[in-house]
Structure 1
Amino acid sequence: MNSLFSKYYDTLMGPLERKYFARIRVDLLKEARGNVLEIGSGTGLNFGYYTHAEKVTALEPNPKMTRKASQRATHATVPIEVIFGNAETLPFEDNTFDTIVGTLVLCTIPDPEKALSEIRRVCKNDGIVLFFEHIRLNNRYLGKLQDFLTPVWRHLCDGCHLNRNSSDLIKQIGFKVVGETRYFRNICVTVIAINKK
């Protein structure tokens, strides 16, 4: 884990969050209901946007971010438990959660297919899955630029792949996508899906 990235994440992301991402998070997370699992909760930027959840379990593999998220959880309006762990081996029984949330996280998970399979397992049948991700552009030149920059970017930004097409992975693993919205000339996407088992 890149300790500098963890330390300065909120500062670096602050302008983007205030100007763009906060509105996207609000619109997406109003769909979260019941018993919610958030994977890769980072420093807890989503915590203030849960309005209909009964309880949130926030999973984060970076210990430094887990500590920051735990502090943020104390100010949330819904009960939030922050735990250390990774999405490829979720420590929960099958069919535990009504909603699963991931925001700007599939890009950093070493094995996203395995993580999405685990999400399918622990999400109830007909449960809701909500993602906000950046993806590889279809533009011939910009997509190649993302490919070129990804090795250095991964090193600087805690494993983040600029060129991962997470929205395609979500569909390929078997979720039924019922809503997809693109932002910023298609570099970001929100996906609302149903877990059909």
Structure 2
Amino acid sequence: MTDQSTSKETRRQQRAWRRQAASYDRKVERAERTMLDGSREWVAARATGRVLEVAVGTGRSLPYYPSGIELVGIDLSPEMLAIARTRAAETGVGDELRQGDAEALPFADASFDTVVCALALCSIPRPEVALAEMARVVVPGDSVVLVDHTRSDRAVVFVGQWLIERFTIPTQGEHLTRRHRGEVEAVGLEVVEHERLRSGAVERIRATRPLG
């Protein structure tokens, strides 16, 4: 996925994931057992019907999905997808895993009953564009479910996040201080569940696409 329509920022992010793919699970495991504990379970528990996971990565959410769903996963990185396909074979979850860009989802309008994005909006170059795409492909009345880093309201935590970003943004494209609720609402989704955890540094959102 390196054609002329792909933005420079997206190509840079793709290169970053290529470098990180082999070590990603090891690096993220500790954070998911501590600060992000329960996050993947939370989003997966809200998935029903035909589900799209945007930025499925190495498939770390796959073991948590309920039985009976049809899961399609999309990711920018073929290296990450290769690991996800192994995990899909082990778990029996992941009907279709394919390469694609979150900012230009290759699906028709209203194709999915649930759209999930777990810990990925922090690194998508234009999260507002990706959210508009998620809103487009979800069935009216159904849910877009998100969990991600967000800027803490506690000054001491925010300073720590800001300092970490000085490294993570240029090397990994990862932002810790973005705020996504306003972007969710700006694309016309209605927030029906919202909570912030870990001193406000982790945010969970379930939003629906209005009927009509």
TM-score when scaled to structure 1?
A: 0.90
Question: What is the CA–CA distance in structure 2 between the aligned matches of 1:144 and 1:169, rounded to whole Å?
Answer: 23
Q: How many equivalent pairs are there?
A: 196
Is 1:161 aligned with 2:175?
A: yes
1:72-118 CA deviation, whole Å, 9 max, x = no partner? Answer: 11122444311001111000001100000000011111111111111
Is 1:82 aligned with 2:87?
A: no
Rate the CA distance shift 1:148–1:46 in 2: closer, same or farther, 3 A. same
Residue in structure 1 matched with residue 57 of structure 2 by the alignment: 42
Letter in 2 for 1:102: C
1:10-46 CA deviation, whole Å, 9 max, x = no partner? Answer: 0011122234545232233111000000001110000
Deviation larger for 167-176 or 146-155? 146-155
Deviation larger for 98-107 or 16-25? 16-25
Residue in structure 2 matched with residue 8 of structure 1 by the alignment: 23
Residue in structure 2 matched with residue 192 of structure 1 by the alignment: 206
Question: What is the CA–CA distance in structure 2 between the aligned matches of 1:121 and 1:54, rounded to whole Å?
Answer: 20
Cα displacement (A) at 1:123: 0.7
Is 1:114 aligned with 2:138?
A: no
Question: What is the CA–CA distance in structure 2 between the aligned matches of 1:27 and 1:149, rounded to whole Å?
Answer: 26
Is 1:25 aligned with 2:44?
A: no
Task: Name whichever structure is richer in strand by fraction.
Answer: 1
Within 5 Å, give how 1:171-190 maps onto structure 2: 171-190=185-204
Within 5 Å, give how 1:47-86 maps onto structure 2: 47-86=62-101
TM-score when scaled to structure 2?
A: 0.84
Cα displacement (A) at 1:62: 1.3
- Consecutive unaligned residues in structure 1, runs of 5 or more: none
Deviation larger for 9-18 or 143-152? 143-152
Rate the CA distance shift 1:53–1:147 in 2: closer, same or farther, 3 A. farther
**Identity percentage of aligned residues:** 30
Is 1:132 aligned with 2:151?
A: no
Cα displacement (A) at 1:149: 3.7
- Consecutive unaligned residues in structure 2, runs of 5 or more: 1-14
CA RMSD across the alignment = 1.9
Rate the CA distance shift 1:49–1:167 in 2: closer, same or farther, 3 A. same
1:161-183 CA deviation, whole Å, 9 max, x = no partner? Answer: 12211233212222111111221
Rate the CA distance shift 1:153–1:102 in 2: closer, same or farther, 3 A. same
Question: What is the CA–CA distance in structure 1 between the aligned matches of 2:175 and 2:36, rounded to whole Å?
Answer: 19
